[in-house]
Amino acid sequence: MSLKAKIKAGAESLGFVAIGFTSVEPVPGLQRFKGWIDAGRHAGMAYLASQRSLETRSDPRKLLPSCRTVISLLSAYPPPRDRGSEPLPGSGRIAAYALQSDYHDVLTRRLEKLVELIAEMAGRQVETYACVDSSPILEKGYAQQAGLGWIGRNSLLYNPEYGSWTNLSELLIDLEVDPDLPFEVDGCGECQLCVRACPTQAIMPDRTIDARRCLSYLTIENRGVIPVEFRKAMGNRVFGCDQCQSVCPVNKKTRVKTREPVIEDFPDLAESISLSEEEYKLKYRHTPVWRTKFAGFRRNIAIAMGNSGQKRFIPLLEKALTDSPDPVVADAIAWALKELI
């Protein structure tokens, strides 16, 4: 068995569902990324436009000077559960990827074990650099170049077997490994369902997302107020948005298995607005929901309450308003009260 085959088998034994190899150059998707930045579609994520960000994404050897191969690895997560009906009135909604343990922690541990396996296979210590979502590397471009799938209209990587219900990670290594063939089939065809289904029309014609309009960005990465024009479109979403993925025909035929989530997918809004910061930490610290922080979580909960039509939330919101010194949260609560009164 070749070293490449051994690495793939080792990665699969650790829980990765697809693995591909590619050379460092040429860097795939670089011009599209720069165009996205120039158009201002990165919203408040100024770090993406920094000189370091652009230089590193232009050459992964800025992360690992000895890098000779980029290994792209795919992990699958369960899609939203089919409840057969909408959640009870007064419930929020959390995006499917955030219902399990924080994938950053899970994938980092898997990559650490994979490095140990590769060192045993190679018969020497190998120089590596692990990337899990937050590293400055054009991961979707490398994944397509490594044969793992195509980049869909909604900017997500689509794998033929697992759709877009996946998380990407990469391992830069100093070993020369024969690259895989790129994935060249466009599985989207003429389909525009995700474009039409996006609640805020955030999907651009060039298969990028305008983060200034995207509910995933606005409810997670955004630390400020959510623009009033997008609050109704949030509905009961309190963390992320699965709309463009849920309507996708490819995603309806995937082999990802459903399993019980670590946290509830439809959290009770009344209970959620009443959580103390310590209670929020205990409940969500080891899940992706921690990313939005306590203030962002309360902001999102308040807007979902305002969209609920449930007048029973008025006393809870009034109490939360007196308890919240954060101006962003206070703004969301005041808006919610105006909607309900």
Distance CA(311)–CA(100), nearest Å, equals 32
Environment class of 81 (CB within 10 Å of its CB; exposed 0-12, middle 13-18, buried 19+): middle
pLDDT at 259: 72
CA distances to 124, 214, 228 from 332, rounded to whole Å, are 56, 18, 9
- CA atoms of 147 and 150, how far apart (whole Å): 8
Q: Report the pLDDT value the prediction gives residue 289, as an integer from 0 to 100.
A: 98
**Domain assignments of the chain as residue spans, ordered by start:** 3-80+96-173, 193-340
Does residue 82 surpass a pLDDT of 70? no
Confidence at residue 15, expressed as pLDDT on a 0 to 100 scale: 95
Cβ atoms within 10 Å of 285's Cβ, excluding its own: 10
- How far is residue 113's CA from residue 77's CA, in Å, rounded to a whole number? 20
Residue 255's pLDDT is 77
Residue 270 to residue 256: CA distance in whole angstroms: 32
Q: Which CATH class is domain 3-80+96-173?
A: alpha beta
**Mean pLDDT to the nearest integer, 272-276:** 96
Q: What is the CA radius of gyration of the chain?
A: 21
Examine the pLDDT at 84 and tell me if it is beyond 70: no
Selected catalytic residue, list 133, 174, 180, 323: 133
Alpha-carbon distances of 7 from 1, 116, 253, rounded to whole Å: 10, 11, 28
Percent of the chain with pLDDT over 70: 98
Q: Is the distance from CB of 49 to CB of 42 less than 8 angstroms?
A: yes
Report the distance separating Cα 160 and Cα 149, nearest Å. 7
Vertex 231 angle, CA 154 and 38, to 5°: 45
The 10s digit of each residue's pLDDT in 170-206 is 999 999 999 999 999 999 999 999 999 999 999 999 9
pLDDT of residue 254: 84
pLDDT at 85 over 70: no
**Rounded to the nearest 5°, which phi and psi values hold at 157?**
-75, 130
Q: What is the pLDDT of residues 124-158, one digit of tens each?
A: 999 999 999 889 999 999 999 999 999 999 999 99
DSSP state, residue 89: T
- Which amino acid belongs to residue 122? A
The pLDDT score that the predictor gives to residue 210 is: 98
Give the whole-angstrom CA distance, residue 54 versus residue 35. Answer: 12
pLDDT bin (cut points 50, 70, 90) of residue 87 is low
pLDDT at residue 86, rounded to an integer: 59
288 close to 97: Cβ distance less than 8 angstroms: yes
Q: What is the pLDDT of residues 41-65, one digit of tens each?
A: 999 999 999 999 999 999 999 999 9
Mean pLDDT of 161-173: 97
pLDDT averaged over every residue in the chain:
95
- DSSP E strand stretches across 198-286: 237-239
Active site residue 206: no
pLDDT at residue 83 in the model = 54
pTM of the model: 0.94
Contacts (Cβ under 8 Å, ≥6 apart) of 96: 77, 78, 79, 80, 165, 242, 245, 265
181-218 b/e (C-beta count within 10 Å ≥ 16 → b)? ebbeeebbeeeeebbeebbbebbbeebbbbbbbbbbbb
pLDDT one-digit tens code per residue, 302-321: 999 999 999 999 999 999 99
